Amino acid sequence: MASIQTTPGGMPVLILKEGTKESKGKEAQRNNLTAAKLIAEIVKTSLGPRGMDKMLVDTLGDVTITNDGATILKEIDVQHPAAKMMVEVAKSVDNEVGDGTTSSVVFAGALLERAEDLINKDVHPSVIIDGYSAASEQALKLVQKIAFKIDPANKEILLKIARTSMDSKLVSDDSPVLGQIVVDATRQIAEKSEDGSLKVDLDNIKVEKKAGGSIRDTKLIKGVVLDKEVVHAGMPKRIDGAKIALINSALEIEKTEMSAEIRITDPQQMQMFLEEENKMLKAMVDKVKSSGANVLLCQKGIDDIAQHYLAKANIMAVRRVKESDMFKLAKATGARIVNNLDDLTAKDLGSADLVEERKVETDKWVFIEGCKNPKAVSILVRGGSQRVVDEADRSLHDALMVMKDVLEKPAIVAGGGAPEAYIANELRQWASTQEGRAQLAVQKFADALDSIPLTLAENSGMDPIDTMTELRARQSKGSKWTGIDCRNGVVTDMFKQDVLEPLSVKEQIIKSATEAASMILRIDDVIAATKSKMPAGPPGGMGGMGGMGGMGGMGGMDME
């Protein structure tokens, strides 16, 4: 083991802590490649519209059913360090662009598989890394070349893009309804920045979910849904033409920090004391009333007595509204959040066509809707069961992110593996411009890109060899949008099939997968400290460092 060095005199010198495991060179590489490829193998079958779903069971027995690459990898508890790096790819793609997580993991896995071929032929990893990096740059140029600009105001095309991102999900049958909601929601909250481009902050879209009904009952609310009820039974439950006050202080008598004792000696005093409290609370309510508000949304508490006076004044009130919701309410209704009741004036009030408490299954929620040009909106997700609602929520997340991507950077490509096949084809020709062995790496990069259309075809039950032959032939003839139409199981023009995706997603897949593959290829030494809780090895120490079994292949991966 490398952790034992010997001095010229033959004395052993212990460099690493006892029990530390090290694997070096080819062995380290092989372990890492195996682990990383296995991760790709896991998500592979879920790629595309005909991909399968995964059922994930956590240690508490909770079940998640999903087709979303990022979610699958988040839920499984991966132990091997290289496998963890693959999970990171999915995470980074999810954060950056929201869609394309499965593709990036599948592509990274394919890059590593092809790299292994070269390593077996004694090509040095650093040559492969250089070749991959050059190929990735060229691939980005190629995809940018074929992408084309869209008009962010073109709702029809936006709907097609949103629908494509949901095509591969459980909710695909409902994508006409959900897609429309996603397009409307993002366009509603998009803000023009100074240079004329759009900025989409998805924090301004509140997604609330509730099991029950069907996915088709999912609704866009031009305002905010609060999972709270009206605070007092005597208050109105519906107010048309709402004038809304947003207060972030309590309508309560402040308690002193120190415990104070008030000695009351005669009943009259008691009466006076209570009356005084009463008067203060009534004064608070009067302030709300005189501002002209008929709805009060309070971030803090509302005293019972204040509730009573509010009810008498026909003011609807909700208490303990979350801070994040207060911000959304301000953006949706145009109200200003007021800290001090004394400052509240008619100018601070927001407006909504309707504020109403409604029953959603067994809960009572307050809907603030019909806001004029709201800069925050809500989506109420419904579906047959909690699992369906959860998966619908995840699919909505992907679609919302994709809309954000195209609104902020309005350039798209067709999907179905067409751009990947196109780039692969071009790269194979471009490879000859590269020197020596880097050529081989570029060729392998191109082959790895083909794994996307190939996997789409396999997952759709198409014959992989026939399909890829036809795809390559038609790509070579110059029809660059030829891809895999998974729904009909044919090779065809994906543009005509309305399968459209943001350019930014394709760019991110190429970048993240290449980065991850290179990072894994660069490793030739894995030094793993053992947990201190592990029982010490037998006396003499060497026993504890015996086998490297724990790090070999699947040995280090725990997928419970």
CB atoms within 10 A of CB 531: 7
Q: How far apart are CA 239 and CA 237, in angstroms?
A: 7
Tell me the closest approach of the beta carbon of residue 102 to Mg ion, in angstroms: 7
Measured from the CB atom, is 34 or 168 closer to ligand ADP? 168
State the nearest-atom distance from the C-beta of 399 to ligand ADP, in Å: 10
| Dist CA 519 CA 517 (whole Å) | 5
Distance CA 296, CA 386 (A): 32
DSSP letters along 425-450, please?
HHHHHHGGGS-TTHHHHHHHHHHHHT
Q: Which is nearer to Mg ion, 99 or 405 (CB)?
A: 99
Single out the residue of 19, 98, 100, 131 in contact with ligand ADP (rule: CB under 6 A): 100
334 makes contact with ligand ADP (CB under 6 A): no
Nearer to ligand ADP by C-beta: 252 or 485? 485
List the structure tokens of 448.
């790895």
Q: Which does 113 bind (CB under 5 to 8 A by kind): Mg ion, ligand ADP, none?
A: none
Which does residue 167 bind out of Mg ion, ligand ADP, none, counting CB within 5 to 8 angstroms by kind? ligand ADP
The residue range among 99-107, 131-139, 193-201, 447-455 that interacts with Mg ion, by the rule CB under 5 A, is 99-107
Q: Give the one residue of 69, 109, 131, 410 binding ligand ADP; rule: CB under 6 A.
A: 69
| Contact between residue 28 and residue 525 where contact means Cβ atoms under 8 Å apart | yes
**Is 383 among the residues that bind ligand ADP (CB under 6 A)?**
no
Catalytic positions, written as ranges: 68, 101-102, 398
Q: Using CB under 6 A, pick the residue from 184, 485, 507, 515 that binds ligand ADP.
A: 485
Amino acid at 241: G
Q: Does 102 bind ligand ADP (CB under 6 A)?
A: yes
- Residue whose CB is less far from Mg ion, 99 or 507: 99
Binding mask 507-536 toward ligand ADP (x if CB under 6 A, else -) reads ------------------------------
Other CB atoms within 10 Å distance of the CB of residue 83: 27
Give the one residue of 101, 136, 482, 518 binding ligand ADP; rule: CB under 6 A. Answer: 101
Could you give the CA distance from residue 470 to residue 492 in angstroms, rounded to a whole number? Answer: 10
- Taking the least distance from each CB to ligand ADP, the nearer of 299 and 492 is 492
Which of 93, 14, 223 lies closest to 502 in space, CA to CA? 93
Residue 308 sits in the site that holds ligand ADP (CB under 6 A): no
Q: Are strands 482-485 and 21-24 parallel, antiparallel or unpaired?
A: unpaired
Q: In whole angstroms, how close is the CB of 383 to ligand ADP at the nearest point?
A: 19
User: Bridge partners of 54?
Assistant: 66
167 part of the interface to ligand ADP, by CB under 6 A: yes
CB of 427 to Mg ion, least distance (A): 24
Task: Note the Cα 380 to chain centre separation in Å.
Answer: 18
Under rule CB under 5 A, residue 99 binds Mg ion: yes
Note whether 501 binds Mg ion by CB under 5 A.
no
Candidates 356, 458, 501, 507: give the one binding ligand ADP (CB under 6 A). Answer: 501
The answer for residues whose C-beta is within 8 angstroms of residue 392's C-beta and 6 or more apart is 170, 171, 174, 178, 209, 215, 218, 381, 383
Cβ–Cβ under 8 Å, residues 445 and 132:
yes
Q: Contact, 1 vs 22, CB < 8 A?
A: yes
Q: Which residue has the tokens 């372990």?
A: 31
Output the smallest distance, CB 393 to Mg ion, in A. 15
Phi, psi of 243 (to 5 degrees): -115, 115
Find the binding residues for Mg ion in span 358-417 (CB under 5 A): none
Coil vs helix vs strand at 509:
helix
Give whole-number Cα distances, 147 to 204, 367, 410, 541, in Å. 29, 41, 10, 61
From residue 409 to residue 428, the character string flagging contacts with ligand ADP as x (rule: CB under 6 A) and all else as - is ------xxx-----------
Please count the residues of this chain forming the interface with Mg ion, following the rule CB under 5 A. Answer: 1
Indicate which of ligand ADP, Mg ion, none lies near residue 48 (CB less than 5 to 8 Å, by partner kind).
Answer: ligand ADP
What mask of x and - would describe binding to ligand ADP in positions 21 to 60, judged by CB under 6 A? -------------------------xxxx-x---------
Q: From ligand ADP, Mg ion, none, which one binds at residue 334 (CB under 5 to 8 Å depending on kind)?
A: none
Cβ closest to ligand ADP, residue 318 vs residue 503: 503
Nearby residues of 404 by Cβ (< 8 Å), 6 or more positions away = 98, 186, 200, 202
**Least separation, in Å, of the C-beta of 170 and ligand ADP?**
11
- Judged by CB under 6 A, the residue of 486, 510, 520, 521 near ligand ADP is 486
Cβ atoms of 389 and 208 closer than 8 Å: no
535 alpha carbon, distance to own chain's centre? 40
Which residue in the shown chain puts its C-beta closest to ligand ADP?
415
* Alpha-carbon span 395 to 171, nearest angstrom: 7
The residue whose Cβ lies closest to Mg ion is: 99
Q: How many CB atoms lie within 10 A of CB 234?
A: 11
At closest approach, how far in Å is the CB of 508 from Mg ion?
Answer: 12
- The Cα 31–Cα 29 span in angstroms is 5
To the nearest whole angstrom, how small is the minimum distance from the Cβ of residue 99 to ligand ADP?
Answer: 5
Query: Cβ-count burial of 537 within 10 angstroms (0-12 exposed, 13-18 middle, 19+ buried)?
Result: middle
131 binds, among Mg ion, ligand ADP, none (CB under 5 to 8 A by kind): none
The CB-of-413 to Mg ion minimum distance in angstroms stands at 14
Q: Which helix or strand (DSSP H or E) is residue 396 part of? A: helix 386-408
Instruction: Note the residues at the interface with ligand ADP (CB under 6 A).
Output: 46-49, 51, 67, 69, 99-103, 164, 167-168, 415-417, 452, 456, 484-487, 499, 501
> For binding to Mg ion (CB under 5 A), which residues are involved?
99
